[in-house]
Every structure is written in structure tokens, then in C-alpha cells.
A = this chain, B = another copy of it.
Amino acid sequence: MDASLLSIQPNAPEPLYRQIAGQIRRLVAGGQLRPGDALPSVREVAGLHAINPMTVSRAYSQLEAEGVLLRLRGKGMVVADTAAPPDLGARWALIDPALDALARQARELELPAEDLLARLQHRIQEELP
């Protein structure tokens, strides 16, 4: 996996280490990262995104505690063989809070569902920077 695939937003309210952990967790759950795949080294991610190595390490450690990643001593982190295989239910569960938040906000703002869905579709399909 390439370190540049991670998207870090320093000004977001979500802490950096949780942004990283969340992305990797979803990439594993979605099957874009498979058991055995190597992750970019702590120093590589930290250097590329100009953040502290400890911040990256914290994300990795948390995922290791969850069983998502495995630490190969002296070699780095890989996706664990024991990581749950992509399971549709689990994937929906991971996105559910965000879905819920969006729906609630749309109701509060009285934004028409039709327009919201159109915007979301466009946002999903657009090319990434």
C-alpha cells in the first residue's frame, strides 16, 4: 500500500491518528487491503504528510490491538490474516454513524431528499484529487 493513498486533514475535528486508523480499517473491511499486504512504514507516512511519527504509530498500535494489523518484528506492519474478511454487514455497520448523521442534519436543515441524493451520488463518483 502506498502512503500517499491516505488522506490526512489537519484541520478536521477528528484527531489525526483516528483519521488514519479509520481509513485503514475501512480499506481492510472493503477488501482494498488484503491479509498479508504491507503497510507503509511509520516514518514514510509521517514524512509524506508532515506529521509526527508517533501519531502514525498510535493509529497502527490501535489497529494492532483490534486485530486488524499484525506487527512483523523488524519488518513492519501487515494486514492480519485473522482480520475479518470483507463482510457486507460489517461494512454497512462501519458507515452507519455517518449515514445517520447526514440524514439527521438533512432533516434539520429541511433539505429536500432528492437534491441530497443527487449531490451525494455526484460526490461519490467524482474523481479524486
Interface residues of A (CB under 8 A from B): 7, 12-16, 22-23, 26-27, 29-32, 52, 62, 65, 73-74, 86, 91-92, 94-95, 97-111, 113, 116-117, 119-121, 123-125, 128
Secondary structure at the A interface, as helix, strand, loop or mixed, is helix
| Further pairs besides A98-B98, A107-B124: 11, Cβ < 8 Å | A15-B73, A16-B73, A30-B111, A31-B110, A92-B111, A95-B105, A95-B109, A99-B120, A107-B128, A113-B124, A113-B125
Q: Are B113 and A121 in contact (CB under 8 A)?
A: yes
Copies per complex of this chain: 4
> Known: A52-B74, A105-B98, A117-B121. Contact between A91 and B111, CB under 8 A?
yes
